[in-house]
Chain A
Amino acid sequence: MKRKPVMYLGATSLALLIAGGVGLIVSEHAVSAQAPAGGAAPARGAAQGGATTPARGATGGGGAPSYRVNPLWPQLLPNHWVLGAVSGVAVDKQDHVWIVHRGADSLESAEKAMILTPPTSFVCCVPAPSVMEFDSAGRVLASWGGPGLGFVWPQSTGGIAVDGDGNVWVAAFGLEPAPAGRGRGAAAADPDAVGPPAARGRGDAPAAAQAPARGRGAAPAAPAAADAHITKYSPAGQQILRIGTPGQPGTPDSQTGLNRPAGMAIDDAAHEVYVADSGNHRVAVFDSNTGAFKRSWGGSGDRPTAAGAGPYDPNGAPGRQFRDVTCVKISKDGQVYVCDRSSNRIQVFQKNGQFIREMVIAKNTKGAVTTIGQAPGVVLNASGSVWDIAFSNDANQRLLYVADGSNDVVRILRRDSLTEVGHIGDGGRQPGRFLAVAAVAVDSRGNLYTGEVHHAKRVQKFAPAAAAAAPATGNN
């Protein structure tokens, strides 16, 4: 038996050589954009699920482009790595795709069996580093970050952004405050934040007996300080700047503090970073080099309040204040788009905070407030329709993509009118389907990348159907 490994070694080299010479040819689903389904969320099609119509080079309803999912993107991860909940996706100037995921905290014990104490498997699996960079072929380039690896890591990550210098920004979105009664908390937070702040054993509550082997693993460890910051890292993961202080949430009028920021956007020309300061119901702008406060505003351009807009009522007026602010994105023509997620609303501003317009998307969406597992008080909150926003790759950024994690689609909107012209996807775990799609980004060639939280834990790539119609050799 001792010689067996030798045999495999020799044979492996053969396999590798052959594999190296043969490009992977992938087959791909067509995922044509579906016609819009009206504003009311529950009205969406009950008919055939719709990701199969091949519409190569064609456009879907209302001028929306069609897409094909690449089911074999990214390439297989090394080192028995698996992704946790993918909370942020961004594309840098080189068209590299950056993700941040929630690692061990978001994995159930069966997904991270190798880091349990004792391990229950020696071959599956280990959480991948929290920040990962892929090239457009899906190869892992950089990987770093995560709790217990020399980083002061967030309780729960939000969005990721890459600035013009290639530096990587990560938001510490945090854990939702324990809900009062069974209602929503004062501010809705992250749908995958399923652990009370006091006990860090997120993901798989019954595994409390299993202590983490390293970093934050399966079980309660020392509580991380409450998330109240964003951090700017070098492309290799060296911390450059932090705005806000972990454990010291700021108030809506704070010039130094944040409260569960969900994401950020960088205005390279102005050296400014715009922060979706979710817990403070505001957009806050800082100098992206020094961290000095510049300005902030609340919903509709008003002064933000701690109370925000209160519980969402689909039959009432949405209110002027933000509920939660889960994204901020800046278009090339200098407009600031804000996700007011549990208000089912996009608001658009000038860079100075002057309100321009708003649009409510799928207004009947309430999202789920539920407990999962057996741990008391463990909250899983998926609320609202507007989770993240990306712009199309054309010069005018004619289209807007909205990740709708409650309705499991990426909506395609005209940017000028904010009217919906189609959508991609539907609910499900198969390639091209979504389960709690939380993040969306577009590269210079119009490829669309999505990140999913909850139990999906994927980054997916969708190519424009026209481009995908070319022979799919290589790994695109």
Chain B
Amino acid sequence: MTSKRNIVIGATLAALLVVLGTGQSLLTKVAAQSASTVMAPKFEVDPNWPKPLPNQYQLGQTIGVAIDANDHVWIVHRANPDEVEAGADNGTAGCCHVADPIMEFDQAGNLLRHWGGKDGPGYQWPASNHGIWIDYKGNVWIGGNGNGSDGMVLKFTQDGKFLNMFGIKKQGLGPDSLAEDRFYLVAKIHVYPKTNEAFISDGYGNKRVAVIDADTGKMKRFWGAYGNKPDDKLDLGAYTPGAPLAKGFRGPVHCAEPTADGIVYVCDRTNDRLQWFTLEGKFLGEIQVQPESKGDGSTWDVDFSKDPAQKYLYVADGRNQRIHIYDRKTMTELTNFGSGGHYPGQWYSLHSIAVDSKGNLYTTETYQGRRVQKFTYKGLAPVTRRDQGVPWPTSTGQ
């Protein structure tokens, strides 16, 4: 705590120096002293990314984002604009059209390939989309999230050619968190190159992490909260802030993200909780994020900084409309940014995040937010306040 007090003094002194217009070198020295204690990734929203969509396309609820090897940004959305937004499709107005559910953007924000939404030989398109992943072989995975029928994930080439369906798609499905042959209402997929395994956030119906072989789809293992065998009969009641932590995932199990060093971070969304595990499912630890959050919960998605150690963990909090930045070693929150709203850098139901090779962060919004946004990575910076607010640009960058 002593060092922290020094920060106070240091920062205050620095502030005074700024006011007084004292020499830059002294200021730098003071700043460097305080900076050595709390540093965190800094971001700035790019209000001009992506470029305006062509063809009067409207996005639906945008419930997944992923980055491929070329740093292209892929999103999946529920192509479900209402009549006002799809007026041109309905013949009621000159604007707009529903866009294909899978869309690829380059770094400049141009829309490239877009496809999906229709059944094809060997597969039915999900009744509701959820989650996208581009695996290390370049293939595109999406989750099936439609009530009553979606117990599968689908794999395509980047051009939309169907490759595999793992799980079951048929009417009358319900939760079965012990099922070996299917999922139920998948939230997300993450293919782990080292083991060629797909970690399935399973999901909205089932309450588990399921791990399959990424080529064959064979179920390899699955687990519930604390690494226990999932139990669909567990009655957790309503989430109550401050109550003892739930024994089971309340769900949706909304992310399951393995790191390079083999730790799987799992979003237990309406418990406002992250749990982390070994790749094999051994429980390692847990925290809550904004545990006062009710409704649809605070832990929607996670991703990591791009340094080899993946030192920082980013938590997308679609209840409080923030991205929390954690030190992954201590799992303490260093800072957060963002706020609620419809302007650049704000969110209305922040849903998914992904980080590109340069450390830039992309977000998507569900419900009526329906955007994909880019937050440019600006390097590590001293944490000057815990709640940074909306990271608007301080220079044009163009």
A contact set with B: CB distance below 8 Å: 3-4, 6-15, 17-18, 21-22, 24-29, 37, 40-52, 71-72, 76-77, 80, 82-83, 108-111, 113, 116, 118-125, 191, 362, 365-370, 372, 380, 382, 385, 406-409, 426-433, 435-436, 454-458, 472
Contact A42 B7 (CB under 8 A): no
Contact B341 A82 (CB under 8 A): yes
Q: Given that A120-B295, A366-B91, A367-B92 are known contacts, is A429 also in contact with B385, CB under 8 Å in the complex? A: no
Q: Which residues of A contact B348 (CB under 8 A)?
A: 110-111
Does B84 lie at the interface of the complex (its beta carbon under 8 Å from any beta carbon of A)? yes
Shortest Cβ gap from B337 to chain A (Å): 12
Contact B92 A365 (CB under 8 A): yes
Q: Given that A191-B84, A368-B93 are known contacts, is A25 also in contact with B396, CB under 8 Å in the complex? A: yes
Contact B88 A124 (CB under 8 A): no
**Out of A6, A44, A369, A432, which one reaches B83, CB within 8 Å?**
A369
Q: Which residues of B contact A427 (CB under 8 A)?
A: 56, 58, 85, 95-96
Q: Which residues of B contact A51 (CB under 8 A)?
A: 52
Does B267 lie at the interface of the complex (its beta carbon under 8 Å from any beta carbon of A)? no
Contact A380 B83 (CB under 8 A): yes
Shortest Cβ gap from B354 to chain A (Å): 19
Whole-angstrom CA separation of A429 from B96 in the bound complex: 12
8 contacts between A and B (CB under 8 A): A8-B384, A13-B12, A17-B15, A24-B393, A25-B396, A113-B319, A408-B94, A409-B95
Q: A14-B15, A27-B398, A430-B50 given; name 12 further pairs at CB < 8 Å.
A: A6-B8, A46-B55, A109-B295, A110-B296, A123-B290, A125-B340, A365-B94, A368-B87, A368-B93, A426-B52, A429-B59, A431-B344
Q: Which residues of B contact A28 (CB under 8 A)?
A: 48
Tell me the nearest residue of chain B to A472, going by C-beta: B396
Shortest Cβ gap from A153 to chain B (Å): 22
Whole-angstrom CA separation of A357 from B92 in the bound complex: 26
Tell me the nearest residue of chain B to A126, going by C-beta: B340
Does B389 lie at the interface of the complex (its beta carbon under 8 Å from any beta carbon of A)? yes
Question: What are the interface flags for B304-346 relative to A under an 8 Å C-beta threshold, 1 for contact and 0 otherwise?
Answer: 0000000000000001111000000000000000011111100
Q: Which residues of B contact A365 (CB under 8 A)?
A: 92-94
Q: Which residues of A contact B51 (CB under 8 A)?
A: 52
Shortest Cβ gap from B326 to chain A (Å): 15
Q: Which residues of A contact B386 (CB under 8 A)?
A: 4, 8
**Out of B83, B94, B294, B319, which one reaches A370, CB within 8 Å?**
B83
9 smallest CB-CB distances across A and B, nearest first, come from A120-B295, A368-B83, A427-B96, A71-B47, A124-B340, A41-B94, A427-B95, A370-B83, A125-B340
Contact B367 A14 (CB under 8 A): no
Q: Given that A369-B83, A458-B343 are known contacts, is A3 also in contact with B15, CB under 8 Å in the complex? A: no
**Out of A27, A45, A80, which one reaches B48, CB within 8 Å?**
A27
Whole-angstrom CA separation of A37 from B92 in the bound complex: 16
Contact B398 A120 (CB under 8 A): no
Q: Which residues of B contact A367 (CB under 8 A)?
A: 87, 92-93
